[in-house]
Amino acid sequence: MKTSFKYLLFVSIFALLGFSREFIFVNINSQLYSLYYHQHDFVLPNSLIFLSDIKYDSLYYIKYPLTVFYFLAYYFTSFFAVKFISNAEKKTLWVFYIYLILLVLSSISISWGYFMNKQLDGYSYTFSRWLMGIAQSPLVAFFVIASQKLHNKP
């Protein structure tokens, strides 16, 4: 497979993941806002109209499995992007380690906020979301691939 095709394929997959994640989460958050403040001026897109029948608490907690889903989707896409583009098996281990570190730090942060501060907001929640934002982006794959290209001797 040509290298340019590999880049195009994985950039397209990352774009699809990013747009779908943004579409789903923005609409869920808008629906949550609408339910919480009893403002019914927001209309869900037809593809997500089924969310209008879900109560606030359930809709809020749906975001957690979706976060896990997108975390895994980005992990596997990053893993295979690094594997097929850089052709270096050791670099795929770096993807695993980076995602593991992001997951562990995010879990520690959110747990700290929940158990010590008795809340799921504040600095620990913001830090956890920031880490998940890195994990749910192509940054890991791009940096690992770029580091491979920098490491190769001309």
Longest dimension (CA), the chain: 62
Q: What domain range includes position 132? A: 3-151
For the entire predicted model, the pTM comes to 0.89
Name the residue type at position 66: L
Number of domains making up the chain: 1
- Taking the C-alpha atoms of residue 69 and residue 75, their distance in angstroms, rounded to an integer, is 10
- Taking the C-alpha atoms of residue 4 and residue 15, their distance in angstroms, rounded to an integer, is 16
Closest by Cα among 102, 69, 104, 84 to 4: 84
Q: Which pLDDT tens digits describe the chain residue by residue (154 residues)?
A: 688 899 999 999 999 999 999 999 999 999 999 999 988 888 899 999 999 999 999 999 999 999 999 999 999 999 999 999 987 778 899 999 999 999 999 999 988 887 887 766 778 888 999 999 999 999 999 999 988 767 655 5
Distances (CA, A) of 106 to 18, 92, 95, 113, 121: 20, 21, 16, 11, 13
Q: Which residues contact 99 (CB under 8 A, 6 or more apart)?
A: 71, 75, 78, 135, 140
Would you state the pLDDT for residue 124?
85
> Side-chain half-sphere of 67: how many Cα atoms within 13 Å?
17
